[in-house]
Amino acid sequence: MILKVRRADIYRATLSARTGNSGYLGFARDGSEYHVVVPVDEQIARGIKAGNRPDDGTPFGGYSGWVYFQCRPCEAATEDSRAEQTDANAAVLIAWAAQRKIYLEIED
């Protein structure tokens, strides 16, 4: 099964580094669906990476049992920079997902 991911959703999760927040795409482990989690406070994100999960079992408002890809932020706060970083995030996302046996196609 190939899951179609909207480029606009990757763009939405690709925030400016100046915001201090992160954007994530969450995927069902079977690759059947995904959702966007934006914005996520960096302090919360660091706690998640350290294994400090919320008591309810869901990472930063996400779904229990799903896997989450953190989009790298763009450095410059321009549309061109954000668009370029969106494309870079899409390429890394495809490889990241494939390692988890989740197969994606990016659509406009």
Predicted local confidence at residue 61, as pLDDT: 59
Predicted local confidence at residue 41, as pLDDT: 79
Q: CA nearest 90: which of 101, 79, 104?
A: 104
From first to last of its 108 residues, the chain has per-residue pLDDT tens of: 899 999 999 999 999 999 888 899 999 999 999 999 988 877 666 665 555 555 555 556 567 788 999 999 999 888 999 999 999 999 999 999 999 999 999 999
Do 86 and 7 contact (CB within 8 A), yes or no? yes
Locus of tokens 């914005």 = 39
Q: CA nearest 104: which of 11, 14, 27, 12?
A: 27
pTM over 0.75, yes/no: yes
Q: CA nearest 68: which of 30, 34, 19?
A: 34
DSSP symbol at 18: G
